[in-house]
Amino acid sequence: MLGVLVGLRQEARIIRRFLPDVPIALSHADPERAKKETQRLLDVGCTKLLSFGCAGGLQEELAPGTVIIADRVSVNGEDFSTDAALSHAFGADFVLQGGVLHSDALVSTIDEKRSLARETQCLAVDMESGFVAKSGLPFAVLRVICDDAERDLPPAAVDGMKAGKVHIAGLLKSLIRRPTQIPSLIGMGRDVALAQNEILRFLTENPPPLDVA
């Protein structure tokens, strides 16, 4: 049985359209919760896992909306290979393949992204794939770039999220403190919407086979 780990509620809604009967665990972009939710997938009997959702770009040529299927996940300097058959089932033949870096913290600055790109040669970074990789089960990673490597994330990107959804109070406080970040935040929102549309389009054109679940 397949289980899916995602970071945010919107990501869960997207993958649910194509895998309506599989267990889906939501991390809320919190490492402790991601660890617990991965274990929950194992406890309910999952025998293979998918890490799904948005990722931050590490390589400067990767624009928002670029779909990636990982061939490895890098966790604290250790690489874990993805399952070739499961990756194929999710469309590895049709998208860019390469490494995905796991981070327990949001990677938000250009300098951080450039440094990690040099150190790991990974294409992208997310906050869930490491837990899937270390589960001991066959796994795949299907991600879409939502912010590129040549832009700092605005502080409101962190302050305005809570429990996997928009936190209005935190967002407003952040904007009041730093109103100059508004154009950057609007641009980020546009890129996230683009990324979600692209991963939805990709799955519509390359739906996972029925037996993948």
Could you report the per-residue pLDDT of 56-85, keeping only the tens digit for each? 999 999 999 999 999 999 999 999 999 999
Q: What does the H/E/C string look like for the chain?
A: CEEEEECCHHHHHHHHCCCCCCCEEECCCCHHHHHHHHHHHHHCCCCEEEEEEEEEECCCCCCCCCEEEEEEEEECCEEEECCHHHHHHCCHHHCEEEEEEECCCCCCCHHHHHHHHHHHCCCEEECCHHHHHCCCCCEEEEEEEEECCCCCCCCHHHHCEECCEECHHHHHHHHHHCHHHHHHHHHHHHHHHHHHHHHHHHHHHCCCCHHHC
CA 177, 182, 187, 189: dihedral to nearest 10 degrees? Answer: 70
Over range 8-24, report the average pLDDT.
95
More confident call, 107 vs 185:
107
> In this predicted structure, what is the pLDDT of residue 123?
98
Q: Identify the pLDDT of residue 213.
A: 81
95-111 average pLDDT score: 93
How many Å apart are CA 172 and CA 182, to the nearest integer?
Answer: 11
Report the alpha-carbon distance of residue 5 to residue 40 in Å, rounded: 10
CATH topology (fold) of 2-212: Rossmann fold (3.40.50)
Look at residue 36 and tell me whether its pLDDT is greater than 60. Answer: yes
The model's pLDDT over 202-213, given as tens digits with 9 standing for 90+, comes to 999 999 998 898
pLDDT the model gives residue 210: 80
pLDDT for res 161: 57
Q: What is the pLDDT of residue 168?
A: 56
Tokens of 52: 């799904």
**Cβ neighbour number for residue 45 with a 10 Å cutoff:** 9
Least confident of 4-13, 39-48, 152-161, 202-211: 152-161
CB 110 within 8 A of CB 37: no
Is this model's pTM higher than 0.85 or not? Answer: yes
Rounded Cα distance, 59 and 55, in Å: 12
* Predicted confidence (pLDDT) per residue in 104-163, tens digit: 988 989 999 999 999 999 999 999 999 999 999 999 999 999 999 888 776 656 654 555
Residue 170 has pLDDT above 60, yes or no: no
pLDDT at 182 over 70: no
